[in-house]
Chains A and B, each alone.
Chain A
Amino acid sequence: MVNLFRLLTAILCPLILGFACVNFILKKDCQAGILEKTGLSFTIGSGLLTLLMFICSFLGIKFPALYLILCLFSGLILALAIRKNLNGIKDSLNIFRYKPGLAQKIIIPVIALIFLYFSFHALVTPLSYWDSWAIYGFKAKALYLNQGIPLGFFTDSTKAYAHLDYPLLLPLLEAWAYTALNSWNDQLVNIIFLAYFLSLLVIFYFNLKPLIGERFSLLLTLFLVTIPRFTLFMSSSAYADVPLTVYYFVSLACLFRWFYVSQGRGFLYLSAICLGLAAWTKNEGAVICLVNFFLFIVLVLARDRAGKESFLLIGRCAGIILAIILPWLVFKGVFHVSSYLINGQNISLGVLGSNLGRIPVIFKSFVNNAFRIGDWNLFWFTAAAAVVLSLKRNFSWATGTVLLSLLLYFLSWIFIYLVTPLEINWHLANSMDRLLIQVSPSVLFLCGLFASGLSSGCRQKKAFS
């Protein structure tokens, strides 16, 4: 029982802290129900918690002390929120008066059953996928046993930590779970990934619902969980690609939401926070950050025209992203931590030119991975058909935003494959699959946008009310 209580605090603390942040950022202007806010809360809260752990570690505050402080603080926030918002809580309990239709009565239990079985499968197995224990799990154990970041983490070669240049969101979050459990338990730590997976499903559903209705958004959510490779990976792999997939999708969905809702800037700021957290999760997240920030600039200027307000808004978003990734960049700079993959030696026109022959190999790997029905169901066939058939008829700022983000991200991966010093077939075999997983919720969201029939230039202001 004590273990269960401690396990719950590992999830509830970031959830409550995230809820306070999300409520503050969204305020009353942006329409988001309590379930959607809960999904956003864990996503945002877990990332910001790890940032706090990173900074506090260098200020000499050990993880157990931080855990106690944050538990008390979360309890205080919860008590104040309940006292202040008693009416709001009573209103939100209306979800229990929800009367499902036939489609909902079939689809929701199927989604729940799939999620519950894979949760059971994940929670009974200790970390077993290679990177999950060899890279992230190992670092998490080191952080937990040291109750903070060890002094020699970046400089002591005898410590032999793999991939020093990888950001620390996931190892810190796992160390948080170990601290909460008061033991190194690499089995129950899987609950973190289940929380991310559930948050993704909730946010995915609520962002599609205003566009294509409840039944079809539930259907697309069911489509998402019936992609075997996706569901198994998101629930059981314990890779950093799990939070990265969530941050990428949430940043895109929030950006899209802001563009289509006239009031407030809350979703724009949430999108910026998710971009910063993506860069704090994996090095690929830095690419996502750059790609989507470019879209920020395009959309802000498109919506509000180039003016003082627009530039201030872009500046604020840049500030939010920098505030999140700056601590990590500073420490990388101080300790001269560099990437073996992307550095001054790899990135040159000469290297790029000499490796152009890899392009057919890359596309062949993409096709071989994406069109394996046993892993991906009909997903990539359907997505390809949807893009080709709908592009002309349903191209708009909405679909253009998402499509451009995906295309730029794919192009960045092609660039990485062209400059990688690793043997190309080995690199493709170990990463192409994960790239497809990272983009799949966003691709399915794009299919939903095509299905909603949003016509060019049309702003559906009422869609989210």
Chain B
Amino acid sequence: MELSLACKNKAWRAFIFFLSLIWLSWGVYCLGSFSHNNFETDKALFGLSLDDKRALVTGREFYGFLKDCERAIPPDKSLRGIFVGADKGETEFYYYRSYYFLFPRNFTQDADYIILYNLGTEGIPAGYKLAARFGPNKSILEKTGKAGE
């Protein structure tokens, strides 16, 4: 048994009809606009490898740096990250994104390695030495185990 709609009044039915028309038109327009604006990006993403997709979402340069760190630092070692972004939000993004990708390497204060992004190696902390450099302001410091070296 199907219950009929409550409103028998023609004026109400007409109102609901036009409301539905406006709702659906606007909804389809908004979704259509989104699809139109994103279709080319989505189509481009479709053909890429998973790494390339992650690079697109993370930022190619920063993701490339993270891949270099992943190759250079063994998974059982600990890290500390020092990042410089355009603002606090970007710096936080670099920090949490590097933690996400470089895990299972844990981030601790007294770490085996320090990764520097957008930061030069002037003033290397005591107890660390330059382990690798991947470009200007992108480098890895390794713990020497001896303070002052």
* Inter-chain contacts of B6 with A (CB < 8 A): 390, 393-394, 450-453
Q: Which residues 121-161 of A sit at the B interface, judged by CB distance below 8 A? A: 121, 124-126, 128, 133-134, 137-138, 141-142, 145, 158-160
Distance in Å from the Cβ of B35 to the closest Cβ of chain A?
5
**Contact for B5 among A110, A117, A216, CB less than 8 A:** A216
Contacts A121-B38, A382-B23 given: A212-B100 contact, CB under 8 Å? Answer: no
**Contact for B42 among A124, A158, A227, CB less than 8 A:** A124
* Inter-chain contacts of A465 with B (CB < 8 A): 1
B3 within 8 Å of A (CB atoms): yes
Bound form: Cα–Cα A233–B102 in Å: 27
Contact between chains at B3 and A114 (CB < 8 Å): no
Q: Which residue of B lies closest to A146 (CB)?
A: B104
Distance in Å from the Cβ of A377 to the closest Cβ of chain B?
5
Q: Which residue of B lies closest to A374 (CB)?
A: B30
Q: Which residue of A lies closest to B104 (CB)?
A: A145
* Inter-chain contacts of B124 with A (CB < 8 A): none
* Inter-chain contacts of A126 with B (CB < 8 A): 50, 53-54, 57
B108 within 8 Å of A (CB atoms): yes
Distance in Å from the Cβ of A354 to the closest Cβ of chain B?
28
Q: What sequence of 0s and 1s flags, for each residue 53-95 of chain A, a beta carbon within 8 Å of any chain B beta carbon?
A: 0000000000000000000000000000000000000000000
Contact between chains at A213 and B2 (CB < 8 Å): yes
Interface residue SS majority, chain B: helix
- Size of A's binding interface in residues, CB under 8 A: 55
Bound form: Cα–Cα A132–B102 in Å: 17
B96 within 8 Å of A (CB atoms): yes
Contact between chains at B4 and A453 (CB < 8 Å): yes
B19 within 8 Å of A (CB atoms): yes
Bound form: Cα–Cα A228–B3 in Å: 30
B31 within 8 Å of A (CB atoms): yes
Q: Which residues 155-169 of A sit at the B interface, judged by CB distance below 8 A? A: 158-160
Contacts A134-B96, A142-B104, A394-B6 given: A120-B42 contact, CB under 8 Å? Answer: yes
Interface residues on B, range: 35 or more
Contact between chains at B5 and A160 (CB < 8 Å): no
Contact between chains at A228 and B106 (CB < 8 Å): no
* Inter-chain contacts of A393 with B (CB < 8 A): 6
Q: Which residues 365-396 of A sit at the B interface, judged by CB distance below 8 A? A: 373-374, 377-379, 382, 390, 393-394
* Inter-chain contacts of B42 with A (CB < 8 A): 120-121, 124-125
Contact between chains at B3 and A377 (CB < 8 Å): no
Contacts A145-B103, A160-B99, A187-B50 given: A213-B30 contact, CB under 8 Å? Answer: no
Distance in Å from the Cβ of B23 to the closest Cβ of chain A?
5
* Inter-chain contacts of B46 with A (CB < 8 A): 120, 124
Ordered by A's residue number, 23 sampled pairs between the chains whose C-beta atoms are within 8 Å are A110-B28, A121-B38, A128-B57, A133-B100, A134-B96, A141-B100, A145-B104, A159-B106, A185-B50, A187-B53, A211-B3, A212-B5, A213-B4, A223-B24, A226-B27, A226-B28, A228-B30, A231-B31, A377-B27, A378-B23, A451-B7, A453-B4, A460-B1
Interface residues of chain A, those whose CB is within 8 Å of chain B, are: 110, 114, 117, 120-121, 124-126, 128, 133-134, 137-138, 141-142, 145, 158-160, 185-187, 210-214, 216, 219, 222-223, 225-228, 231-232, 373-374, 377-379, 382, 390, 393-394, 450-454, 460, 462-463, 465
**Sample of 5 further A-B pairs with CB below 8 A, known A125-B57, A213-B2, A460-B1:** A133-B100, A373-B26, A378-B19, A452-B6, A465-B1
Please provide the 5 A-B residue pairs with the shortest distance between their CB atoms, ordered closest to farther.
A226-B27, A453-B6, A124-B45, A228-B30, A213-B2
